[in-house]
Amino acid sequence: MSPSRSQGKLYVVGIGPGGVDYLTKKAEKVLLGSEYVIGNGAYIDQISGILKNTKIIRSGMGGEVERAKKAVELSKEHIVSIISGGDANIYGMAGIVLEVAEKEEDIDIEVISGVTAISAAASLLGAPLVNDFAVVSLSDLLTPIAIIERRLNCAAEGDFVIAIYNPKSKNRKKNFGKSIEILRKYRSAETPVGIVRNATRKGETVIATTLGKIMDHNEDINMSTVVLIGNSESRLWKSRIITPRGYQKKYDY
Ligand code: SAH
């Protein structure tokens, strides 16, 4: 180890979609071994039951750049975990933390994977992914709306199952209806749609409906919801969604 090398370590930890059972053992181990855990209040609340002697630094929503800088700075001398809901690579903290760390000399950094919202939601819906899928966030805070719409068009044209993150926020409710209009250009009204709110945590709701009826559920969709649009082969089965992988073309069952 060179003398200039920092003694600390920085973990970027995906803590899963909410339920503590969905925190991986690895994430739990890392959190318990950290001197500091940094995260926004809602995510800290999600794991506070398991934290013991850790110093907790809560920050508000937004402020990700400051949070990342603080974590990088502290990690020069301490074992630090900066947490992200779900998986840190899916619209999470991994990106900004590595971008900040890149500007420093020698930060020891490790990213710990977590269960992302669409994995949790898909399991609740049965088997709606299984084949190729695309993930699109409707948040236009960091991505211009024109790019979001282009990606929706491409994903729909490519017949991907589409997972929509950040369908709405407090101040952004309209993109969602516009996005559904885009998808309707490519997909029939019968296309299965899953709406999962608060997957694995308090207030969990799961709705399986169709693209034609999705706006009947407009009020159920908020910033704690992930929306899944099936592909041309997806079908509803009871209150579930199945997207065939293709076995039916090769096998009898
Ligand atoms: N890194 C997170 C996603 C952060 S973006 C992950 O991997 O899951 C925030 C968006 O994720 C929310 O607006 C919502 O669309 C989705 N989301 C996060 N947790 C959720 C949950 N428990 N149930 C449903 N959607 C969730």
Phi and psi at residue 213, in whole multiples of 5°? Answer: -105, 0
**How far is ligand 1, taken at its centre, from the CA of residue 248, in Å?**
33
Mutate to test the pocket of ligand 1, among 91, 116, 138 (most ligand atoms within 8 A of CB): 91
Range of the domain at 68: 9-115
**Do 80 and 145 share a structural domain?**
no
**Do 235 and 193 share a structural domain?**
yes
Residues of the chain with pLDDT under 50: 1-5
Q: Give the pLDDT of residue 1.
A: 46
Q: How many helices (H) and strands (E) does the chain have?
A: 7, 13
**Do 123 and 95 share a structural domain?**
no
**Do 94 and 123 share a structural domain?**
no
Say how far apart CA 55 and CA 32 lie, in whole Å.
11
Q: Give the pLDDT of residue 174.
A: 86
Q: Give the pLDDT of residue 6.
A: 55
**Do 54 and 101 share a structural domain?**
yes
**Ligand 1 environment, Cβ below 6 A:** 17-18, 84-87, 90-92, 116-117, 121, 165-166, 196-201, 223-226
Q: Whose CA is nearest to atom 17 of ligand 1?
A: 117
Q: Give the pLDDT of residue 59.
A: 87
Say how far apart CA 228 and CA 119 lie, in whole Å.
11
- Give Cα 245 to chain centroid, integer Å: 23
Q: Is there a domain that residue 2 lies in? A: no
- pTM of this prediction exceeds 0.85: yes
Say how far apart CA 30 and CA 84 lie, in whole Å.
13
Q: Give the pLDDT of residue 172.
A: 87
Q: Give the pLDDT of residue 2.
A: 46
**How far is ligand 1, taken at its centre, from the CA of residue 69, in Å?**
23
Structural domain total, the chain: 2
* Joined tokens for residue 48: 């506070």
Residues belonging to the chain: 253
CATH code of 69's domain? 3.40.1010.10
Q: Is there a domain that residue 201 lies in? A: yes
Q: Is there a domain that residue 67 lies in? A: yes
**How far is ligand 1, taken at its centre, from the CA of residue 190, in Å?**
26
Quick one: residue 130, left, alpha or beta (phi over 0 = left, psi -120 to 50 = alpha)?
left
Last residue of a domain, one of 96, 115, 134: 115
**Do 54 and 169 share a structural domain?**
no
User: Which atom of ligand 1 lies closest to the CA of 139?
Assistant: 13
Q: Is there a domain that residue 144 lies in? A: yes
Terminal-residue alpha carbon distance, the chain: 59
* Burial of 138 per CB tally in 10 Å (0-12, 13-18, 19+): buried
